[in-house]
């Protein structure tokens, strides 16, 4: 018998100003690393916000049957939000006190112990993201949601951020990561959800999706399913293009109008 999922979305839709950003999304999130990929404006940040409760669905339900403990969910938004004026250690200490965790151990986990006394505004973009990951895993949550943890980082830092995220995933913990870094998705993801224009275009275990779409890499799979180039989005991920307002755009209108609606992992 299959164990209950950590999180479950059923028929979820979300609109902003009447414009649909996500539509008819049904997914189960199981332990392991789930990567959410898709073009800019496809609904990735909104999906992750729905998973954490930061965004209310317009219709549908979001449940967390397998997310337990004093802090069931850990969350790193796309824009790392910590207050200026506090050091990295002080920032983590605030959150750690809320769940009786150790901020220094959290800094160690992401390799930031030496930067603990630096103010948040003095940290590089990569260090801020690592600090955000350290915050998200405080309290040992069952569901860790990281919105583009590798965005805008150099190759070494991207790998480090993804590695830190993937390390959290174990038999009981689900890590959901949105990213344009398809090479890292290839290396670390157990399952993939591909969004296109607010709908789930494909979802499931990575190996199965690769077989079904006759693709050898996630980049190929991405191209086949979305009809756009993963290489282009990887460039966007380098920091030249930022999706500053989460989601809400209409995606790339130059893409072929191919909708694969209602496809989900269930």
Residues lying near other proteins in the complex (CB under 8 A) are found at: 14-18, 49, 52-59, 70-77, 79, 81-83, 85-86, 90, 94-95, 97-99, 135-136, 139, 141
Strand partners, 177: 35, 146
Q: How far is the CB of 87 from other proteins (least distance, A)?
A: 11
Cα atoms in the Cβ-side hemisphere of radius 13 Å centred on 173: 22
Is the Cβ–Cβ distance between 9 and 60 less than 8 Å? yes
Looking at the Cβ atoms of 22 and 193, the one nearer to other proteins is: 22
CB of 58 to other proteins, least distance (A): 5
| Closest distance of CB 71 from other proteins, Å | 6
Sort 227 into a burial class: Cβ within 10 Å, 0-12 / 13-18 / 19+.
Answer: middle
Closer residue to other proteins, CB minimum distance, 143 or 221: 143
Closest CA to 204 of 28, 47, 40, 64: 28
Backbone φ and ψ of 173, nearest 5°? -110, 130
For the record, the structure tokens of 208 come out as: 């199965």
Q: CB nearer to other proteins: give 137 or 200.
A: 137
Look at residue 115 and give its three-state secondary structure: helix
The nearest distance, CB 160 to other proteins, in angstroms, is 21
Closest CB 29 distance from other proteins, rounded Å? 15
Structure token digits, residue 55 = 């965004």
Contact 39, 226 (CB under 8 A): yes
Q: Residue 93: how many CA atoms within 13 Å on its side-chain side?
A: 9
Q: Which is nearer to other proteins, 227 or 249 (CB)?
A: 249
Smallest distance, other proteins to C-beta of residue 73, A: 5
Of 25 and 192, which CB lies nearer to other proteins in the complex structure?
A: 25
Q: Which residue number, 95 or 162, has a Cβ lying nearer to other proteins?
A: 95
Q: Give me 117's structure tokens.
A: 């006394």
């Amino acid at each position: 018998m299959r164990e209950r999922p950590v999180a479950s979305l059923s028929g979820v839709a979300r609109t902003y100003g009447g414009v649909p950003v996500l539509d008819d999304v049904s997914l189960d999130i199981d332990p392991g690393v789930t990567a959410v990929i898709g073009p800019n404006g496809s609904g990735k940040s909104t999906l992750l916000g729905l998973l954490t409760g930061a965004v209310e669905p317009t219709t549908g339900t979001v449940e967390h049957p397998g997310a337990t403990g004093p802090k069931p969910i850990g969350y790193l938004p796309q824009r790392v939000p910590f207050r200026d004026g506090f050091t990295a250690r002080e920032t983590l200490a605030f959150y750690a006190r809320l769940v009786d965790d150790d901020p220094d151990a959290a800094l160690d986990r992401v390799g930031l112990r030496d930067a603990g006394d630096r103010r948040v505004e003095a940290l590089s973009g990569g260090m801020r993201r690592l600090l955000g990951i350290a915050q998200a895993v405080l309290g040992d949550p069952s569901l860790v949601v990281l919105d583009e943890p590798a965005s805008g980082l150099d190759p070494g830092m991207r790998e480090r951020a993804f590695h830190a995220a993937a390390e959290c995933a174990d038999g009981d913990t689900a890590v959901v990561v949105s990213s344009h870094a398809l090479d890292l998705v290839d290396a670390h993801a157990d399952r993939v959800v591909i969004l296109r224009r607010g709908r789930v275009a494909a979802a499931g275990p990575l190996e199965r999706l690769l077989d079904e779409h006759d693709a050898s890499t996630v980049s190929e799979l991405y191209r086949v399913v979305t009809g756009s180039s993963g290489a282009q989005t990887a460039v966007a991920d380098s920091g030249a293009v930022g999706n500053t307002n989460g989601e809400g755009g209409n995606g790339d209108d130059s893409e072929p109008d191919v909708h694969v609606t209602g496809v989900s992992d269930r």
